[in-house]
Structure 1
Amino acid sequence: MRLGFAYVLAVLGLWGCGGVQDPEAPAVEEREVQAQSCTPALAATKVKDILPPDAPLPSPFRPIPAGLTNVQGTLYFSADPYQGPAALWRSDGTTAGTVPFKVFPVEGLTFRDFGSFTAVGSRLFFTMNDPVVGSELWVTDGTAVGTRLVKDITPGIAGSSLSNLTSLGGELSFFLTTASGMELWRSNGTDAGTRRVLSFGPEESMASPTLRTDGALLFFLQDAVHGTRLWRTDGTAAGTQVVKRLDAGQPPVTAARLSYTGQGLFTLLDEGNNTEVWRTNGTAAGTVRLETFGKVVQLLGSTGPYVVVAARTADNEHLKLYRLSLAGGGKATVTTLPNPFQGQLSNDPSVQDSQEAGGRVYFSERISSPGPAARQVSLWVTNGTEEGTLQLSQRLITSDVRSSPLFNTGGGTLLFSSGDGGDGILPQVTNGTPAGTGTVTTSSPGGNTPEEFTRAGNTIFFRAYSGVHGDALWSVPVNVTCTPLSERR
């Protein structure tokens, strides 16, 4: 079998387009979202406006602030305006404590193109474009003097192609792509301490993203001789080795996925659109195929003893959920989701995003339209059973350039964005029940279209409309909840 890695949320173009009713589909019942009354969730607070009042508004594809990253409880982020001075910022969650600590002059550049923010201990590694060395690896300790170029890996203005920056064993590991092939590198933040660990040669190609488990990085390499193999590295040459050969062929590369509960889950897709669902713990014995489907499926996540996946029915108008046992032993149908636009032109359903939180799997279902924007994007939750599969919202962002984020707070709840409150797209929180789903109120005007939720300590930061001009930095406590009115005292 010739297989490709199928990232479960990025295979939308591979769905079939038949018009025959799925004979396995159970009767589909419409499930309306019932409005629930609850006490307002803890208020979201605007931490600070980042854009000056007279600054041009940035493109939604290059937002400000961006790159929100937790570095040992302190938030770091960037501001990269068009043909303007770029800056790195840090925040302790207060207005006074949210400050730029390093400003980079324009120097003829359109953008600085900050990227790949990766925390390693108390430092932040990142890539940035520079007029002298091009795009290379940088590091900062949160001060101006402690922000510097790590190494000009590819001498000259051409820059280096770096990917999959990961903290391993107290240092940074990353991959470098050159004309001679792909290489594994490691850095302690100094020029001398940034060195090549291993070269894989020009024949190897890599699936992305990588998987993280037990202090190691799992990644997939393919070539015409060795086929498709799962590798593991701890960042050292001795600790970089093949885990298991998955297939003899060299298929087109798409991607893979890691479940947030620590279950290493990924899918393989062959040329006939047959999908294999796998589980790995980073060892050969622990890398096993759980199930094979004769069609494209999207991996949603794990809940209790189950893996939940989604696939379109044969009529191409509904999503059907299946559950697989993490221990193996076959698949079972959970339910088929209703489509309120059944029979209309361009009503194809797909999974836009998924997230695990509080032992449940949440996912957003996007139903297409003849135009670029979706007809509807709704939020669902499932515990792997029909009765435990519920629709929580029908008003997530339908834009073709933005989407509603789904974020595990770490406190048993999920943060997302929705227009259910009637005041525009605002942050919402849910515990997986309709009664425990509600709008997070804002302490001042603004807070619309929240994006890039990031937890630092007991605070969750995000970017949202400032209420004045452009976007601002906002925050909400980790313990944000929506309490049903019936439970108030």
Structure 2
Amino acid sequence: MRVGSWSVLVGLGLVGCGGPVEKEVGDTGEAAVQVQAQACAPSGAVYKVKDILPPNAPLPSPGKPVPDWLTNVQGTLFFASNLYGDRAILWRSDGTSEGTVPVKEFPWPGPGSEGVSDFTPVGNHLFFMAAAPPFGRELWVSDGTGAGTRLVADLEPGSAGASLLYFGQAGDALTFFRRSLGGAGLSLWRSDGTEAGTFQLMDYGAAREVSPRSLGVAGARLFTVSSAGEGTWLWRTDGTAAGTTRVKRVDAGQVSVSGWVLTEAGEGVFVFHDEGPITEVWKTDGTPGGTVRLESFGGHVGLQGTLGGHVYLASTVGEGTALRLSRVSLAGGGKETAVTLPNRYAGEPGAWPFVQQTVRSGGKLYLSVGIGTTGPAPREVSLWATDGTAAGTRELSRGLSTSDEWASPLVDTGAGALVFSTNEGGMGLEPWVTDGTPARTGLIADLSPTGGSRPEAFTRVGGTLFFRAYSNTWGDALWAMPATVACPNQAPPPR
């Protein structure tokens, strides 16, 4: 398999009324690099922790995989196995087979149930949603023991379940939104895991909408609330009634935030699409004075991430001929084209480029870039790495998942590398690692020689990366690898 020597079109210039001035940069002159299909990790470094599905159990649907909801709670992994029609089980794991044990079982409540879900860590406790007779679906909390796993409060008394959504942490408390039965009322709540410490912070009424996206900044949770009469406001909560306040109005109309990212300095950046269409880019530290509009773009642009004092956004060029990455200064606005990624399928039916995911890792932004078709599935998805410059932008793989229901994960290891899955060489989707250079991009391990293990749900717990992948016996299993996994320099291709 060969990765390298693919040309990159780079646009350098201002994005203004006249559009960017594109400059084409031809072949970089670098020799093609052989990305080896040899295992980068030492033998035994990647291991199966445990098979979770009982032998001959019905295989779960792709929408409710087992294990699911992998979550780090202060150094302990929690996850769920929702065995549809049978039972829902909360698990914990220390990374060993013997230490991977069920914490509590819940009977399956009936058709349409989610099982145990919505895992949210706060301190050394896990909050989640579950149903157990005689209660409906309600809020639960666990310290990882059976005795310490309990109902927080029966918020909707009796067998009816509470409609809770958009969980997040603020201060040392869980915060969430609640809709009244029938969906008319909307309110913000908090919980410390006790019934007495679970109460309403703010009633927003029936005429307001809250954005499902939010971000934690400086110990507080930021979100937007909009209504036809009052426009769209940025709110903050620290988990107390006194600390739940409006920060600033960001638009006179009702708009929904389409993306949040956290800068390297700990500030929030968000975008929303206004009429026109216009995309506005804002920065906030959670205070009125520190909440400012940085820039606006004509048309739809997607927020990708921040790097080195800039926020990066993606948009298509012309009729889908390329994908432009623009950047805006976090210091006070000003926009320019950083790099333009070519579309080798330009002109073919439905071949529009789009970004699936973006992750910041090791001083680079990694993007999985898909090329559309006339159907729901992309024709190709490739992995790109960029430091925001033409010379520092490379395509690393063209073999990411082309499923219309599932995308290859991109995972920051925390050690300067990115873990992803790809089908390079036709081996099936397997875990790979990269530092952003072709020479140090390679297979971690071939976990399923019969056709790909499809690893996903990577979760870092201390120095370990846990994930879900095919068990080679029945369904998926819980796997683990060192978070320090890296690929040594590959041998250059023979000349």
Same structural fold, with TM-score higher than 0.5 when normalized by the shorter chain: yes
Q: Which residue of 2 aligns with 1:433?
A: 437
Q: Extract unaligned runs of 5+ from structure 1.
A: 1-21
With 35-44 and 317-326 compared, the bigger mean Cα shift is at 35-44
Aligned to 1:35: 34
1:248 to 223, 245, 252: 252
In 2 relative to 1, CA 133–334 (structure 1 residues): closer, same or farther, beyond 3 Å? same
Does the C-alpha gap of structure 1 residues 255 and 336 become closer, same or farther in structure 2, counting only changes over 3 Å? closer
Structure 1 stretch 164-173 or stretch 268-277: which is displaced more?
A: 164-173
User: What is the distance in 2 between the residues matched to 1:330 and 1:366?
Assistant: 28
Alignment partner for residue 453 of structure 2, among 448, 453, 475?
448
CA offsets per residue over residues 186-228 of structure 1, 9 Å max, x none? 1121222211122122222111211111100001011122211
TM-score calculated relative to the size of structure 1: 0.90
Match of 1:469 among 469, 474, 478: 474
Match of 1:320 in 2: 324
TM-aligned CA distance change 1:182 to 1:106, over 3 Å? closer
Equivalent residue for 1:155?
A: 157
Counterpart CA distance in 1 for 2:368 and 2:485 is 21
Partner of 1:483: 488
What secondary structure is seen at the aligned counterpart in 2 of 1:257?
Answer: strand
Question: 1:353-372, aligned counterparts within 5 Å?
Answer: 353-372=357-376
Aligned mates of 1:440, 1:368 — CA distance in 2: 29
Q: Check if 1:118 corresponds to 2:120.
A: yes
* Residue identity matched to 2:34: A
Q: Which residue in the other structure is 2:50 paired with? A: 48
1:455-485 per-position Cα deviation (integer Å, ceiling 9, x unaligned): 1111010111111111000111110001103
* Alignment map for 1:172-211 (pairs within 5 Å): 172-178=174-180, 179=183, 181-211=185-215
What is the letter of the counterpart of residue 483 of structure 1?
Answer: P
Moved more, 73-82 or 108-117: 108-117
SS in structure 1 at match of 2:211: strand
Deviations 1:424-448 (A, max 9, x none): 1011111111111111115776871
1:228 is the counterpart of 2:227: no
Equivalent residues of 2:339, 2:388 under 8 A apart:
no
Residue correspondences, number: 465
- The DSSP-based 3-state class of the residue aligned with 1:485 is coil
Letter in 2 for 1:477: P
Give 2:14's aligned residue: none
Question: 5 Å matches for 1:161-172?
Answer: 161-172=163-174
Displacement of 1:117 after TM fit? 0.4
Is the alpha carbon distance of 1:453 and 1:30 closer, same or farther for their aligned partners in structure 2, counting shifts above 3 Å? farther
Counterpart among 119, 136, 139 of residue 137 in structure 1: 139
Q: Which residue of 1 aligns with 2:262?
A: 259
Identity %: 49
Looking at both structures, which has the greater relative contact order when contacts are Cα pairs under 8 Å and sequence separation is at least 6? 1
Equivalent position to 1:331, from 328, 331, 335: 335
More off after superposition, 420-429 vs 90-99: 420-429
**Amino acid across the alignment from 1:128:** A
Deviation at 1:120, TM superposition (A): 1.6
Corresponding residue for residue 75 of structure 1: 77
Distance 1:103 1:231 in 2: 38
**CA shift digits 1:354-386 (9 cap, x unpaired):** 111112111111101123221100111111111
1:260 CA displacement: 5.9
- Against the structure 1 CA distance between its residues 301 and 254, is the aligned structure 2 distance closer, same or farther, given a 3 Å change threshold? closer
Secondary structure of residue in 2 paired with 1:435: helix
Q: Secondary structure at the match of 1:208?
A: coil
Aligned residue identity for 2:176:
F
Equivalent of 1:63 in 41, 62, 65: 65
Query: Equivalent residue of 1:209, what SS?
Result: coil
For the structure 1 residues 184 and 422, does the alpha-carbon distance in structure 2 shift closer, same or farther, using more than 3 Å as the test?
Answer: same
8 A Cα contact 1:30 1:340, kept in partner: no
Residues 208 and 300 of structure 1: is their aligned pair in 2 closer, same or farther, counting only changes over 3 Å? same
Alignment deviations for residues 32-90 of structure 1 (CA, whole Å, 9 cap, x no partner)? 97433487322421111111221111100010000000111110000001111221111
Q: Which amino acid is the alignment partner of residue 356 of structure 1?
A: R
Structure 2 stretches of 5 or more lacking a match? 1-18
What CA deviation, in whole Å up to 9, does each residue of 1:286-307 have, x standing for no partner? 1112211111111111111221
* 8 Å Cα contact 1:415-1:428 kept in structure 2: yes
**CA displacement, residues 279-327 of structure 1 (integer Å, 9 cap, x when unaligned):** 1111112111221111111111111122111111122232111122111
